[in-house]
């Protein structure tokens, strides 16, 4: 029976891997849905479809998630803010759920940022180490789009200006705002 389960899960993983371009390396990650994902790529692929998903361990699932009090959550960089009962704005539902593990009374009170404008707790960004530079509207070259999105969590006005390194020089103008020139 165990062999049948392994075969089915391997075939499903192979199907998902083709959708996301993941390799078949086995480096298991246990997620909040109590599923074991073959590796980080498979987990991130599933998380792209369900932003409330977070990783709880790198070595398979135990019976309950309370077994992982010290583990780090892995959340997507997608910015879909939610407001917590602590009046903090969280980058997305996954980040809030991650904080619930250490604060049992924390609840989501609404979709969208909190009215008080608090930036919320430290955002946890996990980006691949890929060198695909993008130029931000702040004139800074970011290693990749994920890096830019991570910075955007603390600077909501930031957008991607274009793909590739910035070809402009950023300088602080007399109006104390950044200006750009080619």
Kindly report, residue by residue over 123-171, the tens digit of the pLDDT: 456 676 677 888 888 777 777 888 788 778 766 788 888 888 777 555 5
Q: List 180's β-bridge partners, or say none.
A: 170
* Cα–Cα distance for residue pair 30/172, rounded to 1 Å: 47
Residues forming beta bridges with residue 37, ordered by sequence position: 29
**pTM for this entry:** 0.36
Which pLDDT band, with edges at 50, 70 and 90, does 17 fall under? very low
Contact 141, 165 (CB under 8 A): yes
Q: Give the model confidence (pLDDT) of 74-110 as tens digits.
A: 666 667 788 888 888 877 787 787 778 777 888 889 8
Query: Which band of pLDDT confidence, cut at 50, 70 and 90, is reported for residue 58?
Result: low
Is the pLDDT assigned to residue 113 strictly greater than 60? yes
- With beta carbons less than 8 A apart as the criterion, state whether 83 and 113 touch: yes
Domains and CATH numbers, the chain: 134-181 (3.30.60.30)
Pick the closest to residue 161 from 141, 176, 132 (CA basis). Answer: 141
DSSP SS3 for 175? coil
């Amino acid at each position: 029976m165990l062999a049948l389960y392994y075969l089915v899960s391997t075939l499903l993983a192979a199907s998902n891997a083709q959708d996301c371009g993941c390799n078949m390396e086995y480096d298991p990650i246990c997620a909040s849905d109590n599923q074991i994902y073959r590796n980080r790529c498979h987990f991130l692929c599933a998380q792209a479809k369900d932003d409330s998903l977070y990783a709880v361990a790198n070595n398979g699932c135990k019976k309950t998630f309370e077994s992982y009090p010290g583990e780090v959550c892995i959340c997507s960089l997608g910015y879909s803010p939610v407001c917590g009962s602590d009046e903090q704005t969280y980058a997305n539902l996954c980040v809030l759920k991650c904080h619930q593990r250490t604060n049992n009374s924390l609840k989501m009170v609404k979709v969208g940022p909190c009215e008080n404008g608090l930036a919320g707790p430290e955002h946890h960004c996990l980006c691949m180490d890929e060198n695909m530079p993008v130029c931000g509207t702040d004139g800074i070259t970011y290693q990749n789009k994920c890096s830019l999105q991570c910075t955007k969590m603390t600077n909501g006005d930031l957008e991607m200006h274009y793909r590739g390194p910035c070809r402009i020089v950023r300088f602080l103008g007399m109006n104390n705002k950044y200006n750009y020139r080619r």
